[in-house]
Structure 1
Amino acid sequence: MSKQGVLLVNLGTPDSPSVKDVRRYLDEFLMDERVIDISQLGRTLLVKGIIVPFRGPKSAKTYQKIWTDKGSPLMYYSEIMRDELQNRLGGGYQVELGMRYQNPSIESALNKLKEGGVKNIRVIALFPQYASATTGSVHQKVMEIVSKWQAIPDISFINSFHNDPDMISVFAENGRKHDLETYDHYLFSFHGLPQRQLIKGDDSKKHCLQSSDCCSVLTDTNKFCYSAQCHDTARLIAESLNIPRDKYTVTFQSRLGKEPWAQPYTSEVVHNLAKNGTKRLLVFSPAFVADCLETIYEIAEEYDLEFKELGGEKVQLVESLNTHPVWIGVLEKLATQTV
């Protein structure tokens, strides 16, 4: 009997922390038209002429700080997710892992599913909140590849799972490990996006950034808005932990360039809190299902150091979903539910 196929896709990682491999990764990542959505000429000049040559060596040093004997943390956790999900689903399924950028490629993972003769494919982009630059890019890449196949099986996509109750419970459980009452404030820090991409995603053209609180409540108008989904994820985690609204802030990190990105910026909020006397800060990062450069280094190392230099005592990162068995159960649910 034919198996059902499941394709897990994460963002990607360099093959090694060498400058050469980091530059190759950055080049593929930043040349994606959904990531830097400007003209091809402008993107080529910016990425190949400025960002990759100059940022590559700096990023390589950062990757070297988080690299382990098992390789990239993101790759390590993603491979375990694949293997654990395969164990959960059993012999009636074939689970493969692909990275949107670098290895293993989405194409190689899809080819394995094709060679396995699967009767259908469920694509799960490992990003809780939908964004064109992440989930949208994965879906586009999958469709480009399979469009060249002679026989195309049934394919279904998971758009987002930002409000999945079991996922929320894992983040909340991980937060409780840190004795919540000992912290003065809580941050929910999500990966940033340029404001222009948020605006482009507003099909109504009448809602996005038209007010200061346009993302605070998820509605039919902004249901596909990355920022609105981020706020909703944060609200659900905070409610499950009984964190009052005035005790937490939703922020965005990892911006690139000088144009405005989703705000407020995590770095600025961390600085302001320290200057205003906040001593202990607990940070959730619910845009990532696996700990990676943006969490292990940017939050746990950089923000912690900056916070202490301004008078704070501690920025504590809450670990991500990683290989938590309840999270694997969420993947099982996404793989088997009727879309």
Structure 2
Amino acid sequence: METYASNAPTQTTSQVGKTGVLIVNLGTPDSPSVPDVRKYLREFLLDGRVLDIAATTRYFLVNGIIAPFRAPKSAKVYRELWTETGSPLKYYGEVVERELQKALGNEYVVTLAMRYQSPSIDAGLARFQRLGLNSIIVIPFFPQYASASTGSVYEKVMDIVKSWQVIPEIKFINRFLEHPKFIQGFVQNGRKYMDTRNYDHYLFTYHGLPERQILKGDVTGKVCKLGDCCGKLHAMNQHCYRAQCFETTRRLVKELGLPEGSYTTSFQSRLGRTPWIKPYTDEVIKELTAKGVKSVLAFSPSFVADCLETTIEIGDEYRELFEEKGGEHWQLVESLNDSPIWIETLVDLVKTA
């Protein structure tokens, strides 16, 4: 079996043939303090795949306006999110790292990384390089592919390893929305609430993206219409984030047995004045209450771990909006977090990579 020499002085034979598994989530500030939040925002928003505008404009916009003025407000929200164990997203990542290592056994080396902040992708890959592993599997924790999330992880990994003298075999998990256990994990979490009461409506809300990023992904320039073109996932739109989100909803709806008309797919977290993919979650909430909907069960299938966008935005802010507009009961379905079925999903992804 082929192995390679790393930068480390020696290589233990026990590592020969092992596979590194790099699990990567988006990231979180090191603390809810204003300086740490500002540092996180800068790294996140200076990524050209996230804020896809001219580099000079992006630099001055982020450093001169967004980070200085948004950091204090964001820090306040992060303090609401923080627990005794720190950032939920990082905490769940660390638990998953341990549990996945146990489940995979000694043939694998599992390492958690964040695309932004710590633990870094650089540190995770450096560990693999020192161990002289046979191959590497990279699993971005994003069920649906998007240039700003999965694509950014790919770019970062490739940018790091391009300087290695010897690059081992590297495999990337592009998406996993079709994996039965991923779907079943959200179904199990949702049914816990569905078994206790009847809901008027079911909302599947996904992180949003600027429309321009979706249009850029259509290499033909002819398929994407930002509308009914997402009604089915096929060869020509399979990499479209919006189409993948609608496909995720269809799979969840089928397993949950929801009737047509009882559910909606929407997109949250939009920023700025440019158009983002629609429908917007906050506008959908207003439309639902105007129709007399009193109870909603909300799913967030673009997140595998609870974070600011689930716990605070969906769980608190959208609940407040729903109640303000006349709704009575709003329930967020938790993400997969560190559940056994999520670990099983990851094991399957590794073994079939």
SS of residue matched to 1:178: helix
Q: CA RMSD in A?
A: 1.0
Report the Cα distance in structure 2 between the residues aligned to 1:267 and 1:280, rounded to whole angstroms: 15
Match of 2:249 in 1: 234
Q: Does 1:206 align with 2:222?
A: yes
Correspondence for 1:91 among 76, 89, 106:
106
Length-normalised TM-score, structure 2:
0.94
**Identity in percent:** 55
Match of 2:25 in 1: 10
SS of residue matched to 2:321: helix
Q: Does 1:220 align with 2:273?
A: no
Report the Cα distance in structure 2 between the residues aligned to 1:47 and 1:245, rounded to whole angstroms: 43
Q: Does 1:152 align with 2:167?
A: yes
Match of 2:201 in 1: 185
Q: Which runs of 5+ in 1 are unaligned?
A: none
Report the Cα distance in structure 1 between the residues aligned to 2:308 and 2:23, rounded to whole angstroms: 20
Match of 2:133 in 1: 118
Report the Cα distance in structure 1 between the residues aligned to 2:319 and 2:255, rounded to whole angstroms: 26
Alignment of 1:269-288 (within 5 A): 269-288=284-303
Deviation of the 1:216 alpha carbon: 1.6
Correspondence for 1:174 among 177, 180, 189:
189
SS of residue matched to 2:229: coil
Report the Cα distance in structure 2 between the residues aligned to 1:189 and 1:209, rounded to whole angstroms: 20
AA at the equivalent of 2:208: G
Deviation of the 1:276 alpha carbon: 2.1
Deviation of the 1:315 alpha carbon: 1.6
Deviation of the 1:111 alpha carbon: 0.6
AA at the equivalent of 1:312: G
Match of 1:64 in 2: 79
Report the Cα distance in structure 2 between the residues aligned to 1:58 and 1:268, rounded to whole angstroms: 23
SS of residue matched to 1:37: coil
> Cα deviation per residue 1:69-91 (whole Å; 9 max; x = unaligned)?
10000000011111111001111
Length-normalised TM-score, structure 1:
0.98
Q: Which runs of 5+ in 2 are unaligned?
A: 1-13
Q: Does 1:329 align with 2:323?
A: no
Q: Does 1:37 align with 2:45?
A: no
Deviation of the 1:245 alpha carbon: 2.4
SS of residue matched to 1:281: strand
AA at the equivalent of 1:156: K
> Cα deviation per residue 1:10-38 (whole Å; 9 max; x = unaligned)?
00000000000000000000000000101
SS of residue matched to 2:204: strand
Report the Cα distance in structure 1 between the residues aligned to 2:36 and 2:253, rounded to whole angstroms: 39
Match of 2:264 in 1: 249
Deviation of the 1:117 alpha carbon: 1.7
SS of residue matched to 1:214: helix
SS of residue matched to 1:264: coil
AA at the equivalent of 2:341: V
Report the Cα distance in structure 2 between the residues aligned to 1:110 and 1:221, rounded to whole angstroms: 33
AA at the equivalent of 1:293: L
Alignment of 1:45-56 (within 5 A): 45-56=60-71
Match of 2:95 in 1: 80
> Cα deviation per residue 1:146-171 (whole Å; 9 max; x = unaligned)?
00111111111111111111110110
The farther-off stretch of 126-135 and 327-336 is: 327-336
AA at the equivalent of 2:180: P
Structure with higher Rg: it is 2
AA at the equivalent of 1:310: K
The number of residue pairs the alignment matches comes to 337
Report the Cα distance in structure 1 between the residues aligned to 2:130 and 2:285, rounded to whole angstroms: 50
